[in-house]
Amino acid sequence: MKKCDYCAKEITYFEQYCDENCEKKALDFYTMREKFTKVFSIINVICVFAIPVGIFLSTMRPRLGYLVGTIALTLLGLTVFALPFPVENMISSMKIKKAVKVTRIFGAVCFIVGLILVMLSFLIFSK
């Protein structure tokens, strides 16, 4: 049997979604993704490059390097949590609902780890 593109319930081969609610939620997801893709990409690129820059800076200026790296990780996690846009392979294998949930969990973990590291860097370098 074929599965609904949003919630992964079994449906007939002639349908794409199991009901109108799933179709509306899928359309909302694709609309939001199209609307915020550029913002999401810019923030991700900045954060992904800032983390190694922070690691590099930490060899010369530890306080600044750790702060740059941990703030970038925290911002990356917050962005992925707020705008959960999984890749197409993830959507095709898990369907939209589960892929968004997994992406949000990943964003929350990055955000929490980043916050913990920011607090630890303030504790370590406050002396």
Tens-digit pLDDT string for the chain (127 aa) = 789 899 988 888 888 898 999 999 999 999 999 999 999 999 999 999 999 999 999 899 988 999 999 999 999 999 999 999 999 999 999 999 999 999 999 999 999 999 999 999 888 887 6
pLDDT at 122: 85
pLDDT at 46: 96
pLDDT at 126: 77
Three-class SS string for the chain? CEECCCCCCEECCCCCCCCHHHHHHHHHHHHHHHHHHHHHHHHHHHHHHHHHHHHHHHHHCHHHHHHHHHHHHHHHHHHHHHCCCCCHHHHHHHCHHHHHHHHHHHHHHHHHHHHHHHHHHHHHHCC
Domains in the chain: boundaries: 2-125
pLDDT at 48: 93
